Amino acid sequence: MDDTVADALREATGADTCAFVAGCVERMAQLFTGLRGGEPDREADVDFFLRVLDDLWDADLPGGTFTVAMESLEEFPELQPGDEELVDVTDIYSFYAVLVARHACTYRASGDIENAVRSAHAALTAMGQLDRNIIASGFMNDERERQLRSALSGREDGVSKIGLPQVRSVDQRVSLERLSAVRNRLTR
């Protein structure tokens, strides 16, 4: 986790931090929805994840909304304790996507900035693991740069100049690129 990002988050306004965690989840979202979407027994989870993602982009929603979301995400199979290490590619990246969302919801429910930091750290860890498994990729550096720009945007008024819909659209494309990389890894 970049210290500059953590420090900026600790100084940011609530709305800026809400946009920051929503962006982290958005960039990870398709690693859950795209990998689990075709599983009939997970369709309800995918739909729920997408509703949570939409809610995260709404800075005006009350914390109670996210307490329920956090508790529901904790019930997902990805976050259930187990004796075995995750080795399946789909399981690994689905786990990280749900973990990032859980930390984001925990931040929104509690307002504790350390949960926003945890969300960012989980996204970086996932991208670092993806880099280790795909030759000549730069997913971790890309995530680090996106987090840095987002965390500092409140200071520089960057998000308000661009607008959240455009930021979200870019994050959706990034998420699709990540899903494509993981799917390519699955076909090897």
Structure tokens at 110: 């509690």
CATH of domain 3-186: 1.20.1590.10
Classified as helix, coil or strand, 13 is coil
Measured CA to CA, the distance from residue 101 to residue 32 in angstroms comes to 10
Instruction: From first to last of the 188 residues of the chain, give the pLDDT tens digit.
Output: 678 899 889 888 888 999 999 999 999 999 999 999 999 999 999 999 999 999 999 999 999 999 999 999 999 999 998 878 878 899 999 999 999 999 999 999 999 999 999 999 999 999 999 999 888 789 999 999 999 999 987 654 444 445 789 999 999 999 999 999 999 988 86
Measured CA to CA, the distance from residue 181 to residue 30 in angstroms comes to 11
Structure tokens at 138: 């730069």
Spatial CA neighbour of 150 closest among 164, 169, 140, 130: 164
pTM of the prediction?
0.93
CA–CA distances in Å: residue 103 to residues 8, 45, 142: 18, 17, 20
Measured CA to CA, the distance from residue 62 to residue 40 in angstroms comes to 32
Q: How many CA atoms lie within 13 A of 160 on its CB side?
A: 7
Q: pLDDT (tens digit, 9 = 90+) per residue, 88-141?
A: 899 999 999 999 999 999 999 999 999 999 999 999 999 999 999 888 789 999
Measured CA to CA, the distance from residue 146 to residue 158 in angstroms comes to 12
Proportion of the chain above pLDDT 90, given as a percent: 74
